Each structure stands twice: as structure tokens, then as C-alpha cells.
Amino acid sequence: MSDEIEIDIDDLERRMDGAMTALRHEFASLRTGRASASLVEPIHVDAYGQMTPVNQLGTVNVPEPRMVTINVWDKAMVGKVEKAIRESGLGINPQLNGTIIMLPIPELNEERRQQLTKVAAQYAEHARIAVRNVRRDGMDHIKKAKSSGMSEDDQKFWTQEVQDLTDKAIAAIDRALEAKQAEIMQV
């Protein structure tokens, strides 16, 4: 019976790593005052009858530290891409130059930096909740295994394994949050 639980431990670890990957992706979409191609990843445009990510409609480049450019491949889509960027809530005013959309990244003020650190903290809390939900699933598996004949020693061992995995994942989330908040507050 113990071997079955061990397989579950690998699955739990994979799912906790998935929460961390999702957190990194959310952190990448936060604007820190530096230009990044990942800034436009969450933006989708109604193109050709379906919602399409901006990076599938043109080439996204970062030619300088405070500028993102999008070279839209289809001239008919330039207006739609520009409108989607304006309505995205990024707080960036796109500038058109033919099929190239330029996104100048303004310097962040102190108030906006504080807001972004709070948003980063919310993202981290969502990741912690996801990890705790995975932990709960693992503990439920252990309880089921106990009811079907797992020894008390094995139960304690696997409970500790799941808790160690959870603690490791939470610590990684906390480190990622500290690094992101330091990056946001950097002038």
C-alpha cells in the first residue's frame, strides 16, 4: 500500500510545482518599470473570429529598456491590437508607426509601486492556497490508505513527507514574492 502513496507524493510535488510556475507567469505580467515582452502576454485580441494572444499576431521585441514594440503581421489587425492594449488595464498608451505598435513604459511612481507590491502579494497568496489545497488532497489520500490497512508508522512518515513538501513549496513562494517586491520597489 505504501508504494501507491509514494506515487501520489510525486504527483503532489508536480502539482505544487505547477502552482509555482503559475505564480512566476503572473509575476512576469506585472509591470516593474522595465520593458519586458511578457508584459503583453495576457492581452488577447478578437482576431479571425476567436480570441488570440498578441504574440501570435505579431513579433514582440524589446529594443530598449523602456520600450516594447509589436510588429503586427496583418495590417487589418493593427487597430484591434492597439485597442486591446488600451483596454487591457496596463496603463500604457500605444503609439502607431505603420504596422509597428510602440509601447513606451513610463517610470513608476511610489504610489503605483506600492499598489503593485500588494498585487504581487495577492498572487503569492493564491499560489499558497493552491499549494495548501494540494496538501489537503495528499492528507486525504493518506487517510484513505490508513482506513485500508496502512500502518500508523507509515501514516506518520507520509504525513511528514507531505508536510515537508508543502513547507518547501511555501518557502519558494515566499522567496519569489520577496524578490518580486524588491524588483518593483527598485527605482
Distance CA(170)–CA(172), nearest Å, equals 5
User: Where a domain ends, among 70, 104, 138?
Assistant: 104
Answer left, alpha or beta for residue 28, where phi above 0 means left and psi between -120 and 50 means alpha.
alpha
Strands (E), the chain: 44-47, 50-53, 58-64, 67-72, 95-97, 100-104
Instruction: Name the H helices within 76-151.
Output: 78-86, 110-147
Q: Are residues 43 and 94 in the same domain?
A: yes
pLDDT confidence of residue 164:
94
Quote the pTM value: 0.67
- What is residue 111's predicted lDDT score, i.e. its pLDDT? 83
Domain co-membership, 79 together with 41: yes
Same domain, 94 and 116: no
Tell me the CATH number at 116. 1.10.132.20
Does 15 share its domain with 67?
no
Residues 120, 57 share a domain: no
Domain boundary among 56, 88, 104: 104
Closest CA to 74 of 91, 57, 61: 57
Q: SS3 for 32?
A: coil
Same domain, 116 and 172: yes
Last residue of a domain, one of 66, 82, 104: 104
pLDDT of residue 31: 65
pLDDT digits (tens, 9 = 90+) for 77-96: 999 999 998 887 777 889 99
- Do 159 and 116 lie in a common domain? yes
Residues 55 and 116 in one domain: no
C-alpha 8: how far from chain center: 25
Instruction: Tell me the CATH number at 64.
Output: 3.30.1360.40
Report the number of distinct structural domains present in the chain. Answer: 2
| Same domain, yes or no: 23 and 69 | no
Domain that holds residue 67: 37-104
- Residues of the chain with pLDDT below 70 are 1-7, 31-34, 187
- Cβ-in-10-Å burial (0-12, 13-18, 19+) of 7 comes to exposed
Asked whether residue 118 falls in the same domain as residue 82, the answer is no
Same domain, 174 and 83: no
